[in-house]
Amino acid sequence: MSARDDQLALLRTATQKLAESAEVQIAGLLQDGFTHMVDELALQFDDYYRSVRHWVADAQLAAALVLLDEALEEMSSPGVEALWSFDALRAAPEWQRIRDLADATLACHWTVHPADREQ
């Protein structure tokens, strides 16, 4: 397995965290020491997405990742800070949309371009 495959696996894990129920997300954040830092879910996705987005081989996966990234960006706009709370994770329709997009993304074929495996 290449370093890029490893990075893609980390992105998949971050996407899985976005697809989980609110209670599982909250439990995971608390376990990792993020007592009030809901944005950590998006930050992990963003870190790994930025590192592998150009290596994604499957067009459907690439498009799904873009949609998920754009939805998270919309939630990071000024004036929507309330979305970054445990209560919002539980009840906000924006978070359900993120879960739905993450589920759709996880259903895609996860691989990097063969030429990129060596790097």
Q: Which amino acid is at 19?
A: A
Structural domain spans, the chain: 3-110
pLDDT in tens, 1-28: 688 889 999 999 999 999 999 999 999 9
8-state DSSP, 84: S
Question: pLDDT tens per residue, the chain (119 residues)?
Answer: 688 889 999 999 999 999 999 999 999 999 989 888 899 999 999 999 999 988 888 999 999 999 999 999 999 989 899 999 999 999 999 999 999 999 999 999 998 766 544 44
- Look at residues 111, 118, 34, 6 and name the one whose alpha carbon lies nearest to residue 65: 111
Question: Can you give the C-alpha Rg of the chain in angstroms?
Answer: 14
